[in-house]
Amino acid sequence: VYRSQNENISSWQKSNRNVSLGWHVVTPDQAPEKEICPEDASKGKETLIYEKAKRYHKEYWQMYRTKMRMARMARKAGNFYVPTEPKLAFVIRIRGINGMSPKVRKVLQLLRLRQIFNGTFVKLNEASINMLRIVEPYIAWRYPNLKSVNELIYKRGYGKINKKRTALTDNVSIAQSLGKYGMDNQVRISIEGK
């Protein structure tokens, strides 16, 4: 009866999980590591992106369902449901410096609106709303939605990548420049306003 070389491995070698390669016995720590091919890496990235999108969709759907449920419960009780105020505003400066008081000028500096047509995202709290009231004749502001944030970031957004000012053209560049702050794409920017 003919036996191949791999069948002649002793029980001692099997119990120590050694692998026989020809006449030379290699332990698992000596075996070459499996290289990850680029296709496998891209598949992993695609599944990660899909999972994130799925999670964001679920989060938006839950927020929508909560609003609808609260409105239904209030209507059933004979009341009105007042939705919460947005936490984020986009502010644009629309007027120049002529005839501006020092207080207004200082508030515009605090809002980072130093030039005409500059725009910033502002987290809304009592103090920032009072600041917006002071400079109201010089600015325009609204609550942004996801579509407008997308368009703004892809058209005008810049970030620092390797100490260079680089345009934010896709989610990869956003993750590179803002990843250390937990911002992986424009969805997080529009929700959290960071």
Measured from the Cβ of residue 155, the count of other Cβ atoms closer than 10 Å reads 10
The 10s digit of each residue's pLDDT in 79-100 is: 988 888 888 899 999 999 899 9
What is the per-residue pLDDT for 116?
A: 95
**Any bridge partners for residue 93, and if so which?**
139
Residue 162 reports pLDDT greater than 90: no
**What are the strands, taking DSSP E only, across the chain?**
19-21, 24-26, 88-93, 119-123, 139-142, 158-161, 164-167
When the pLDDT of each residue in the chain is averaged and rounded to a whole number, the result is 78
Q: Distance of alpha carbon 13 from its chain centroid, rounded?
A: 51
- Rg, C-alpha atoms of the chain: 29
Could you tell me the pLDDT band of residue 136, with boundaries at 50, 70 and 90? very high
Coil, strand or helix at 169? coil
State the helix-helix crossing angle for 126-134 and 102-110, rounded to 10 degrees: 130
- Using the predicted structure, report yes or no on whether residue 43 has a pLDDT greater than 90: no
Checking if the pLDDT of 64 tops 50, the result is: yes
Average pLDDT over residues 49-62: 85
pLDDT value at residue 19 = 47
Query: Comparing 178 with 102, which gets the higher pLDDT?
Result: 102
- Which position has the token pair 């502010």? 91
**Which of the four pLDDT bands, split at 50, 70 and 90, describes residue 35?**
low
What's the average model confidence in pLDDT over 181-185? Answer: 65
* Assigned token pair, 87: 């936490």
CATH 3.30.1390.20 for domain 85-137, yes or no, is yes
The CA-atom distances, in angstroms, between 185 and each of 49, 71, 88, 112, 173 are 11, 31, 17, 23, 9
Task: Please give the pLDDT value at position 149.
Answer: 84
Pair of tokens at residue 61 = 């759907």
- The domain spans of the chain are 85-137, 144-194
Report pTM. 0.59
Distance CA 90, CA 142 (A): 6
Q: How far apart are the first and last CA of the chain?
A: 74
Lookup: tokens for 133: 């009231």
Q: How large is the average pLDDT for residues 40-51? A: 74
Question: Which of 7-11, 20-24, 138-142 tops mean pLDDT?
Answer: 138-142
Highest mean pLDDT among 17-21, 27-31, 143-147, 186-190: 143-147
Q: pLDDT > 90: what percent of the chain?
A: 35
